[in-house]
Structure 1
Amino acid sequence: MWLTLKDRHSMEKQMRFKSKTNKGAIVLLISFLSVWLILMLVATDFLPNLRLPKGEWLTVTHTKYNFSIQHPDNWSIHKYDDRGYKNAREIKLILNYNARGFNGLFVKIIEDSNPTLEKAANWGDVWLKEISSTGKYREISFTEDNINGQPALRRVSAIGERVFVDTYIARENDFVVITLQTSQTHYNQFSTDYDKVVHSFTTLKSN
């Protein structure tokens, strides 16, 4: 069967149309799969893990309250004086990182004439009850720790979906509370960095 020139042009036109249609369908499918993959990664909290700080660690010193602490270089730092942060006078340093589920890392200094770890833990107990709408919290763990040769206590607790990790350190004229606030979903994501920050805490030597 012989095809006329007109028939050939018609067939070529149809083939080009089918080729464009197939390419368009492939592009559309790839776009759909890409969007689906991104949504799945976000839903499973995989992307926030990729955004965890991977850079250098820096040291920030607060001479007024006689301590230094290390942090990832892409965390923001806010230091405070006697007035503290807003209504929380005990907060002297806040480390923050712009990531989902991270609500801040706080260094609190509470002056005391006879500071002990027991007093620090009792202070933390009262504070947790005060910030809870029900006046209660759920204690997940309460363990002993050691920060640069100095005895410490660590409490992990939950209020609703929020997780609070508090490390208590007693010094000569005050006690220190280092708090991580995050969500139950993201706790494991930030616990390693919190542990490293806490164990970098150093009391400055007096001149």
Structure 2
Amino acid sequence: KKRSETAATLMEMVGLLEKRHLKTKWFSKGMKQRLLLCMALMGDPEVLFLDEPTTGLDVQSTRIIWELIRDFNRQGKTVFLTTHNIEEANQLCDLVAIINRGELAVIDRPENLRRTFTSLQTVEAAFQPQITSPEIFKENEATSRFKKQGDKYIFYTEQPGQAIFFLSELCRREGYDILSLQTLGPSLEDVFLEVTGKLHNIEVEQDA
């Protein structure tokens, strides 16, 4: 009876209680992932190992699984989480280990990694009309490392003030309007790129 009650509680937490009588072949990928997590939690383990628990899932399923992991952790239990999703690691992990070429490169708290492993700042800018020849950013060293993300450009620089000044002058000269312009501290993604040696080889890329 206790196991049945535990199963019902877990399934309710992940939104599957009403689907409990369905065969799993009718479940979506997200539903199957949630069910697998419920099964892993049935034995009330002290340590839980999860390998890419939200890969390929929709936003709703991802958030449900994240909250279940947080609830498990709030009980004083330990989760070892393997993920390629930097934001997932940032949201869920007290300690982050970065593996580079099969070896442990670094392990620390996310805030310590951001403070220690990159001196770069991020400048985020959007222009109107959109700049279609981004090579012009390479005219100045402060804006020479960048990528395109949606309708914005992300610049990685040790001189954010110089980057902002150059972008302002560039837009005035070329007739562009600046829709948004802000500086951000280093993100966990920036740390990952620096630790793995990829930050200095950023290429312009358009998000799908």
Identify the TM-score tier after normalising by the shorter chain.
under 0.3
From the two aligned structures, give the one with the greater helix fraction. 2
- After TM superposition, the score normalised by the length of structure 1 is 0.25
- After TM superposition, the score normalised by the length of structure 2 is 0.25
**Structure number with larger C-alpha Rg:** 1
From the two aligned structures, give the one with the greater strand fraction. 1
